[in-house]
Structure 1
Amino acid sequence: MKTNDDGKPASGPSLKARAVGYLSRREHSRVELGRKLSRFGEEDEVRAVLDSLEKEGWLSTQRYAQSVVHRLAAKQGTLRILRELRQHGVADAQISELRSNLQATELARAREVWRKRFGQLPADAGQRAKQVRFLMSRGFGQDTIRQVLRGVDIDDLDDFD
């Protein structure tokens, strides 16, 4: 248990109450919630609270991963979303499941992000470089960026099979 400077136990809500408060505002990964709670309790206490919350269904890495994808998919590319999930301790197996869904919609999402920001194909090399950098910074892959900047439509690609 954490203590104040004078050696008395720290006052305030319990670890579980703090955790439920965090989770009531938004989904958290186990790693992220553990990091937040570590300021208020010892490692063993935090681990026990996290285990309890997972058993009770309050804490779910799968729900967290889905909420991240839902929040970021409209404005970020697959690479950036997957990096965010890895940073927050989402298992590779769960990331693999989400990757295929994200990749299936990547071109459409990249086109929409590009359309909102630029709306027209680049007129020269400088504009093209600017648009490429923008889309890369959003986490879109090079093949997707190439297709967006060529103006290739998904239906046009089917004609080449």
Structure 2
Amino acid sequence: MKVPLSSGYLLIRGDTSFFLVARSKETFALPIETSDAEVFQGVHRGDLIVVSAPEGGDPEQARLLCELVRSYRQPLVVLPKGHPGTSRLRMVLSVAPRIMPRTDIVRGTHPDQDVICSSGELSRLEMAAEGESVSLSGFDPETMTLWVFPLGPLPTGSASMDEYLFSPGR
């Protein structure tokens, strides 16, 4: 399934977790800081910026995390496996043209940007930039819901979100 998304946000929700997807507005070098190196990854205009919240949370927090990278070029920090801080990471972020959720990686410890830590309920979903759209493979309309929002703060409350609901037949 393709979801039109050139500049806003795509929120993909399961029962208890979500992904927030945005597109890079321009090309830039993304610094990735590990315990022993600094690597720069090329990000191209249109690449996906995906925030994963495996335990749920506030989508506005995910939007702010996304914008720290997309608009302000905040470096990504990768913690070493076994680091005590990984248990406090409620949201993680990856940037790539195609991103595959995985349940077998520890949050905040994986430097490869084509994968992202996920809950089991969203782990079948694969996201890819395709033209002015986001292509979703493995989307299950029985267990997942989509919203497409314009740029800016996300609405709060289910009533204000209803107008942004995306149905695959649109």
Q: Same fold (TM over 0.5)?
A: no
Bin the TM-score by the shorter chain: under 0.3
Which structure carries more strand by proportion?
2
**Could you state the TM-score of these two structures normalised by the residue count of structure 1?**
0.23
Q: Which protein has the larger Cα radius of gyration, Structure 1 or Structure 2?
A: 1
